[in-house]
Amino acid sequence: MDNAFYHSRKCELTPQQSWRKARIQEWLRDKGAPYDETSLKTELLQLVKLHAHKYKKLAVDELALSHRITVLRLPPYHCELNPIELILAQVKGEVAGGNRSVKLADVQRHLKKALENVTTEDWRKCINHADKEEKKIWDVDNMVDEVIDPFIINVGNSDSDSDSDR
């Protein structure tokens, strides 16, 4: 799954700077997190940071988990790894190519036809394409590890030669 905002809705909001102090205190109280009643709002938000990671569950992930499904998220900005993006491009192209009307009913009819035209072979090709793109990314990553990393010079490294050593 990609990282679109609609895939990343949290199950529960976490206190923000814009929240009133009483609401932040209520959140901390509900979580069983001790705090001093005299604490400033900024101090309460620091406490929130210590506990918030335990409550950052995503709605999609929780729904999937309830059906024993594990969601694997794509790295940000790598839509080429998502086969559905290619299928959607195919469908949109077919709708745009066949539609000569601005009427919603006509667009819906073309969309339905375009979706029906997506075949198992189309999916197979798109998945194979995504697999090839993933392999390319791994190859580049390995190249960085093997070829480029040895050439990186760390300035200030105690293992390097310096003028005082000569």
Within this chain, do residues 61 and 106 fall inside the same structural domain, yes or no?
A: no
What pLDDT score does 98 carry? 84
Distance CA 43, CA 46 (A): 5
What pLDDT score does 116 carry? 97
Boundary of a domain, candidates 33, 66, 99:
66
Distance CA 133, CA 80 (A): 7
Which of these, 57, 46, 58, lies nearest to 15 by C-alpha position?
Answer: 46
What pLDDT score does 166 carry? 47
What pLDDT score does 127 carry? 96
Distance CA 110, CA 97 (A): 9
What pLDDT score does 110 carry? 94
- Please give the tally of structural domains in the chain: 2
What pLDDT score does 61 carry? 93
Structural domain for 54, as ranges: 5-66
What pLDDT score does 43 carry? 95
Within this chain, do residues 83 and 143 fall inside the same structural domain, yes or no?
A: yes
What pLDDT score does 7 carry? 85
Three-state secondary-structure class, residue 113: helix
What pLDDT score does 3 carry? 83
What pLDDT score does 154 carry? 77
Within this chain, do residues 85 and 62 fall inside the same structural domain, yes or no?
A: no
Low-confidence ranges of the chain (pLDDT < 50): 166
Distance CA 99, CA 49 (A): 51
- Supply the pTM of this predicted model: 0.61
